[in-house]
């Protein structure tokens, strides 16, 4: 048996130990490993099953009210289809005005966008979506991610490096990549905060600032948001061009995801970017572009877009924004507080060798050109203090 | 308390646009703002009908629900008004309104629409009643003088009715009964009184 | 109250500090004079001064590929800042009312917005680069950062006041402008005026020795 000091200096009060149980220990009967009916593959399967089940529950349960509602709508439709023998002569007029069967545009002396439409049914759909879905679910998703991250941090703590820093540094991000990243960070938060104030300000800020005070804030936020928005398109394109090369999915990513990135099942290999980072990259590109396109439609309202187009664009804009903000909390957590040695990759551009080996070993192999070494007694004795085993020192 | 509503009788509207002219005159509306409009469906065909539509002063106003700065309020009479000093010109009320009532003075790029303007049921706005600011910003306040909106007053065929909802529905009920009777009287098939005749 | 302060006393104070400060700095530089050059001039100093000013506008061939981003972002920032400062409609109105007495044709609204977006992008990119590049991070002093951030704040408040419907936001923008005017003569922002004599001096000094700067 080998007990090695995991982290911490020789004179630090806090450290972790790694106990390596070797084959010889099991032979002489001092340690009994009992793993009855608890094979690793079974545990993996059970974990995956419960994850999928909870995901399904979380997704379907909020949709139940809509299913009930849909049933009521279907019942109404059946009643409407039953034609009375002597119908009201105005039925057809009001059905046409209400646009129940088709979009019918009348004509008007007033020539402006949508002036020929008497009743725009997209308006109420959009109002229901914004006030009853976007506002509560957006807040819920942001709060849920934030609270889970806080809980995770309180329980798990900062994930320290498995080996001490070797002092040898590897370049991970070039100056251009870092500049583009921090540029998009500044823009993202400027747009996110102004956008969130426009969405939630009525609920949170009017009681604090009063109606006039919040009107000034909202005017400022609206103008900053609308002006800086088009810049976000260039930022997203720059991020795409600078980071896309290493962000294509490979087989290693499936393995990484199956093990939850190393959360269950021990170490898992990853290339320059692991599957989680790749997912975040593609989410940013896809939903970032969706934000830009819908934002441009919304902000350039001078091209005759009708209310239906604007309401649809706003829907895409809102969903993409709240999704990206929620997921960004995770990205920020992992990039700053979550792990030791990560933040410096984006500030200085360099990472320590031990960080690279621990988190992106395939990339480290490509960079260092060295083959991966398995943990052996020699390596451990170099890294830290080697304490004698509990069982039989003669084995050492 | 009265609940003020509009009702436009599609059978009577002759598309004369007097309601629009009266509104623009009485409230000194600038060019480009159309508080009220007349929409004609099936123009030129048999079954042509016209409707005059402006703000319908909804009980559960969608404009008020989506406004990010909460600038709408409903008076005791049920008239939906808004405060132009608080309005930020975002346009959400226009997206939500089924009737397209909110109007904006400019259509420049980058969402610089200006302050929203809409039909006020000739009930002015939050400024002091009868003051110059109230007139310049919101138009005349006829309701405070005990009068009804000028569009309905000026309607040449009394197609457009404005006033207390109970009174309006009573007037319209009488009209429907008379129409039903006159249709039968004239020997026209009841089914053929609609727009698809 | 604050509006009166910003439009009245503080504006006058900022104007005085701005012009007096700039004059003081220019006079101080001129008073230092130049050391006597006893060598035989190999070429004209004046042509050296003029050429140095012109050559300062583009990078040297040897280092051009390495500083491409700074040159492009720098021009983005400066050119569009000049355009929006002197040709944006609200600024033209302000200058006509308070300074010149006459106005000129402003650029259309959308051009104002596009110019300000490009200015923002250039400024933010340059400041991020200044912080991330290890060399510039080392040689940047507090004043360099304060200047960038102050200009950014002035532009942001201008952005907020764009709708021109709120006097409070416009007053706030004017207040930050006045702060910038007070800070201007005592900071690196003086390069706006000093770059001409600075390049001229270097160009003339080396031009007399027959060296192209």
Q: Residue A10's pLDDT is what?
A: 63
Q: Residue A41's pLDDT is what?
A: 73
Q: Residue A43's pLDDT is what?
A: 73
Q: How many contacts (CB atoms, under 8 Å) link A and B?
A: 141
Q: Using an 8 Å Cβ cutoff, are C207 and C47 in contact?
A: yes
CA-based nearest distance A41→chain B, Å = 52
Chain B contact set for A91 (CB, 8 A): 194
CA distance A84 to A348: 77
Mutate to test the interface with B, among A95, A102, A109 (most CBs of B within 10 A): A109
Q: Residue C122's pLDDT is what?
A: 95
Nearest CA in chain B to A305: B95
- Put simply, the answer to whether A215 touches C166 (Cβ < 8 Å) is yes
pLDDT average, residue stretch A305-315? 92
Q: Residue A383's pLDDT is what?
A: 34
pLDDT tens figures, B53-95: 999 999 999 999 999 999 999 999 999 999 999 999 999 999 9
The pLDDT tens digits along chain C (213 residues) read 888 888 889 999 999 999 999 999 999 998 988 888 888 888 888 999 999 999 999 999 999 998 998 999 999 999 999 999 999 999 999 999 988 889 999 999 889 999 999 999 999 999 999 999 999 999 999 999 999 999 999 999 999 998 877 888 999 999 999 999 999 999 999 999 999 999 999 999 999 998 887
- Put simply, the answer to whether B110 touches C165 (Cβ < 8 Å) is no
DSSP 3-state of B109: coil
Q: Residue C38's pLDDT is what?
A: 85
- Put simply, the answer to whether A219 touches C128 (Cβ < 8 Å) is no
Q: Residue A53's pLDDT is what?
A: 84
User: Is A164 exposed, middle or buried (CB count within 10 Å of its CB: 0-12, 13-18, 19+)?
Assistant: middle
CA distance A238 to A176: 9
Chain C contact set for B105 (CB, 8 A): none
Q: Using an 8 Å Cβ cutoff, are A118 and B51 in contact?
A: yes
- Domain A125-391, CATH 1.20.950.20 — does that match? yes
Own/partner pairs for A199-203, CB < 8 Å, 24+ apart?
A: A199/A134, A199/A135, A199/A138, A199/A318, A199/B68, A200/A135, A200/A139, A201/B68, A201/B69, A202/B67, A202/B68, A202/B69, A202/B70, A203/A135
Nearest CA in chain A to C167: A216
**B121: region left, alpha or beta (phi > 0 left; psi from -120 to 50 alpha):** left
Residues of chain C numbered 114-133 and touching chain A (CB < 8 Å): 116-117, 120-121, 124-125, 128-129, 131-133
Q: Residue A147's pLDDT is what?
A: 95
- Put simply, the answer to whether A124 touches B193 (Cβ < 8 Å) is no
Nearest-CB residue to A230 (from C117, C124, C165): C117
Q: How far is CA A17 from the centre of its chain?
A: 33
Nearest CA in chain C to A194: C160
Q: Residue A32's pLDDT is what?
A: 59
Nearest CA in chain C to A212: C166
Nearest-CB residue to B34 (from A107, A110, A121): A110
pLDDT average, residue stretch B134-148? 94
CA distance A310 to C145: 41
pLDDT tens figures, B28-58: 999 989 999 999 998 888 888 999 999 999 9
Q: How far apart are the first and last CA of chain C?
A: 54
CA-based nearest distance B111→chain A, Å = 5
Provide the percentage of residues in chain A whose pLDDT is more than 90.
45
Chains contacting A (3 or more CB pairs within 8 Å):
B, C
Q: Residue A142's pLDDT is what?
A: 96
Q: What mean pLDDT value characterizes chain A?
A: 83
Q: Residue A249, CB half-sphere, CA atoms under 13 Å: how many?
A: 12
- pTM, two decimals, is 0.81
What is the DSSP annotation of C42-81? SS-HHHHHHHHHHHTTS--TTTTTTTHHHHHHHHHHHHHH
pLDDT tens figures, B145-196: 999 999 999 999 999 999 999 999 999 999 888 877 666 665 555 556 667 7
- Put simply, the answer to whether B107 touches A89 (Cβ < 8 Å) is no
What Cα–Cα distance (Å) separates residue B111 from each residue in A226, A327, A355? 7, 29, 48
Nearest-CB residue to C133 (from A175, A224, A230): A175
Residue A73 has pLDDT above 90, yes or no: no
User: Is B19 exposed, middle or buried (CB count within 10 Å of its CB: 0-12, 13-18, 19+)?
Assistant: buried
Of the candidates A94, A298, A137, the residue with the CA atom closest to the CA atom of residue B95: A298
CA-based nearest distance A126→chain C, Å = 26
pLDDT average, residue stretch A95-110? 85
pLDDT average, residue stretch A64-92? 69
pLDDT tens figures, A143-189: 999 999 999 999 988 888 888 888 888 999 999 999 999 999 999 99
CA distance A364 to A370: 8
CA-based nearest distance C160→chain B, Å = 12
- Put simply, the answer to whether A216 touches C69 (Cβ < 8 Å) is no
Q: Using an 8 Å Cβ cutoff, are B2 and B77 in contact?
A: yes
CA-based nearest distance C3→chain A, Å = 15
C104 touches chain B (CB under 8 A): no
DSSP 3-state of B55: coil
SS3 of chain A: CEEEEEECCCCCCCCEEEEECCHHHHHCCCCCCCCCCCCHHHHHHHHHHHHHHHHHHHHHHHHHHHHHHHHHHHHHHHHHHCCCCCCCCCHHHHHHHHCCCCCCCCEECCCCCCCCCCCCHHHHHHHHHHHHHHHHHHHHHHHHHHHHHHHHHHHHCCECCCCCCCCCEEECCCHHHHHHHHHHHHHHHHHHHHHHHHHHHHHHCHHHHHHHHHHHHHHHHHHHHHHHHHHHHHHHHHHHHHHHHHCCCCHHHHHHHHCHHHCCCCCCCCCCCCHHHHHHHHHHHHHHHHHHHHHHHHHCHHHCCCHHHHHHHHHHHHHHHHHHHHHHHHHHHHHHHHECCCHHHHHCCEEEHHHHHHHCHHHHHHHHCCCCCCCCHHHHHHHCCEECCCCCHHHC
Q: What angle do CA B112, B113, B115 make, to 5 degrees?
A: 120
CA distance C46 to B32: 61
C132 touches chain B (CB under 8 A): no
DSSP 3-state of B141: strand
Residues in chain A: 396
Q: Using an 8 Å Cβ cutoff, are A133 and B66 in contact?
A: no
Chain B contact set for A116 (CB, 8 A): 39
pLDDT tens figures, A315-344: 999 999 999 999 999 999 999 998 888 999
pLDDT tens figures, A235-294: 999 999 999 998 999 888 888 888 888 777 778 888 899 999 999 999 999 999 999 999
DSSP 3-state of C151: helix
Task: Give the sign of the dihedral formed by CA A223, CA A225, CA A229, CA A232.
Answer: positive
Q: Using an 8 Å Cβ cutoff, are A6 and A15 in contact?
A: yes
CA distance B49 to A106: 10
- Put simply, the answer to whether B91 touches A90 (Cβ < 8 Å) is no
Task: Give the sign of the dihedral formed by CA B177, CA B183, CA B185, CA B189.
Answer: negative
Chain B contact set for C162 (CB, 8 A): 112
pLDDT band at A54 (very low <50, low <70, confident <90, very high): confident
Domains assigned to chain B: 4-180 (3.30.70.20)
**Which range, of A98-112, B89-103, C70-84, averages the lowest pLDDT?**
A98-112
Q: Using an 8 Å Cβ cutoff, are A186 and C126 in contact?
A: no
For residue B120, the surrounding DSSP H or E stretch is none
pLDDT band at B119 (very low <50, low <70, confident <90, very high): very high
Tokens of A303: 């091209």
Nearest-CB residue to A223 (from C129, C133, C160): C160
DSSP 3-state of C27: helix
Domain ranges of chain C: 41-125, 141-193
The complex's ipTM works out to 0.89
Domain ranges of chain A: 3-66, 125-391
- Put simply, the answer to whether A107 touches B70 (Cβ < 8 Å) is no
CA-based nearest distance B109→chain C, Å = 6
Residue A379 has pLDDT above 50, yes or no: no
Q: Residue A384's pLDDT is what?
A: 33
């Amino acid at each position: 048996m080998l007990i090695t000091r995991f982290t911490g200096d020789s004179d630090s009060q806090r450290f972790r130990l790694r106990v390596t149980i070797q084959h010889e220990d099991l032979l002489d009967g001092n340690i009994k490993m009992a793993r009855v009916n608890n094979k690793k593959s079974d545990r993996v399967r059970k974990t995956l099953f419960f994850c999928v089940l909870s995901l399904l529950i979380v997704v379907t349960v909020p949709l139940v009210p809509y299913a009930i509602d849909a049933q009521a709508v279907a019942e109404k439709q059946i009643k409407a289809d039953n034609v009375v023998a002597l119908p009201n002569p105005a039925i057809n007029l009001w059905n046409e005005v209400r646009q129940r069967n088709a979009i019918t545009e009348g004509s008007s002396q007033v020539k402006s966008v949508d002036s020929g439409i008497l009743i725009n049914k997209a308006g109420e759909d959009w109002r229901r979506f914004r006030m009853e879905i976007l506002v509560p679910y957006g807040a819920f998703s942001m709060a849920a991610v934030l609270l889970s991250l806080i809980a995770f941090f309180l329980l798990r703590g900062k994930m320290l490096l498995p080996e001490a820093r070797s002092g040898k540094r590897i370049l991970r991000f070039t100056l251009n990549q870092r500049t583009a990243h921090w540029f998009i960070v500044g823009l993202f938060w400027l747009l996110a905060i102004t956008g969130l104030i426009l969405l939630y300000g009525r609920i949170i800020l009017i009681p604090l600032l009063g109606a006039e005070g919040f009107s000034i804030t909202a005017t400022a936020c609206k103008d900053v948001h609308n002006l800086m928005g088009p810049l976000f398109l260039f930022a997203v394109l720059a991020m795409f061009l600078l980071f896309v090369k290493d962000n294509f999915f490979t087989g290693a990513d499936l393995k990484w995801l199956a093990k939850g990135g190393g959360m269950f099942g021990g170490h898992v290999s990853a290339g320059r970017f692991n599957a989680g980072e790749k997912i975040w990259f593609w989410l940013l590109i896809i939903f970032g572009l969706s934000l830009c396109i819908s934002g441009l439609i919304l902000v350039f309202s001078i091209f005759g877009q009708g209310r239906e187009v604007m309401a649809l664009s706003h829907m895409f804009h809102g969903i993409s924004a709240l999704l990206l903000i929620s997921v960004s909390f995770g990205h920020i957590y992992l990039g700053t507080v979550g792990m030791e040695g990560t933040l410096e990759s984006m500030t200085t551009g360099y990472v320590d060798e031990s960080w690279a080996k621990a988190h992106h070993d395939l990339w480290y192999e490509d960079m260092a050109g060295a083959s991966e070494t398995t943990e052996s007694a020699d390596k451990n004795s170099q890294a830290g203090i080697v304490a004698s085993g509990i069982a039989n020192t003669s084995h050492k | 308390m009265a609940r003020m509503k509009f009702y436009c009788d599609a059978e009577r509207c002759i598309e004369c646009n007097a309601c629009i002219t009266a509104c623009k005159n009485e409230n000194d509306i600038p060019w480009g703002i159309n508080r009220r409009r007349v929409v004609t469906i099936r123009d030129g065909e048999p079954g042509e009908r016209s409707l005059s539509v402006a703000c319908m002063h909804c009980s559960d106003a969608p404009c008020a629900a989506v406004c990010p700065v909460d600038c709408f309020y409903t008076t005791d009479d049920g008239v939906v008004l808004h405060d132009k000093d608080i309005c930020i010109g975002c346009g959400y009320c226009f997206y939500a309104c089924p009737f397209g009532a909110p109007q904006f003075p400019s259509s420049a790029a980058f969402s610089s629409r200006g302050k929203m303007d809409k039909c006020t049921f000739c009930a002015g706005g939050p400024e002091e009643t009868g003051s110059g600011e109230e007139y310049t910003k919101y138009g005349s306040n006829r309701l405070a003088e005990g009068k009804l909106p000028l569009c309905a007053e000026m309607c040449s065929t009394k197609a457009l009715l404005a006033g207390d909802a109970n009174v309006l529905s009573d007037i319209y009920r009488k009209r429907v009964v008379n129409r039903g009777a006159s249709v039968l009287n004239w020997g026209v098939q009841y089914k053929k009184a609609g727009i698809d005749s | 109250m604050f509006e009166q302060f910003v439009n009245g006393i503080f504006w006058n104070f900022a104007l005085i500090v701005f012009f007096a400060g700039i004059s003081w700095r220019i006079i101080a530089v001129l008073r230092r004079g130049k050391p006597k050059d006893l060598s035989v001039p190999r070429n004209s100093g004046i042509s050296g001064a003029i050429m140095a000013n012109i050559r300062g506008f583009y990078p040297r061939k040897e280092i051009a590929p390495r500083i491409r981003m700074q040159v492009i972002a720098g021009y983005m920032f400066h050119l569009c800042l000049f355009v929006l400062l002197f040709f944006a409609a609200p600024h033209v109105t302000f200058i006509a009312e308070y300074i010149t007495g006459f106005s000129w044709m402003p650029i259309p609204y959308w051009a104002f917005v596009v110019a300000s977006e490009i200015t923002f992008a250039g400024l933010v990119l340059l400041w991020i680069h200044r912080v991330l590049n290890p060399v510039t991070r080392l040689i940047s002093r507090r004043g360099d950062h304060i200047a960038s951030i102050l200009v950014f704040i002035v532009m942001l408040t201008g952005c907020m006041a764009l709708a021109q419907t709120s006097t409070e936001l416009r007053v706030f923008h004017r207040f930050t402008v006045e702060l910038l005017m007070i800070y201007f003569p005592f900071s690196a922002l003086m390069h706006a005026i000093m770059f001409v004599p600075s390049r001229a001096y270097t160009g003339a000094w080396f031009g007399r020795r027959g060296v192209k700067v």
